[in-house]
Amino acid sequence: MFRLLTSVKTQIGLFAMALVFFLAGSLIIPGRMEEFSGINDALLLGWLSEARPSASWWIYGLITILGVIALSTVACILDALRGTVSFKALPAPIIHTGMLFVLLGHLLTASVSLRLEYTLGPGDSAYSSGAAEDFRVDEIIVRPDAVIETYREVRGQWLKGGAAVKPMLIKPGAPASYHGTWLFIKSADLLPSPKATLRAQRDPGAPFALAGGGIFALGCILLLFQGRAGRMVS
Q: pLDDT tens digits for 54-67?
A: 999 999 999 999 99
Going edge to edge, which strands form the sheet with 181-189? 114-120, 195-202, 181-189, 176-178
In the chain, how many domains are there?
2
Residue percentage of the chain with pLDDT more than 90? 40
Same domain, 213 and 98: yes
Residue percentage of the chain with pLDDT more than 70? 93
Q: What CA–CA distance (Å, rounded) separates 41 from 36?
A: 10
Q: What CA–CA distance (Å, rounded) separates 196 from 188?
A: 4
Whether pLDDT at 121 is above 90:
yes
Per the structure, the complete domain to which residue 185 belongs is given by 122-202
Q: What CA–CA distance (Å, rounded) separates 78 from 4?
A: 14
Q: How far is CA 58 from the centre of its chain?
A: 20
What pLDDT does 81 receive?
75
Same domain, 8 and 49: yes
Same domain, 143 and 42: no
Same domain, 147 and 211: no
Same domain, 195 and 177: yes
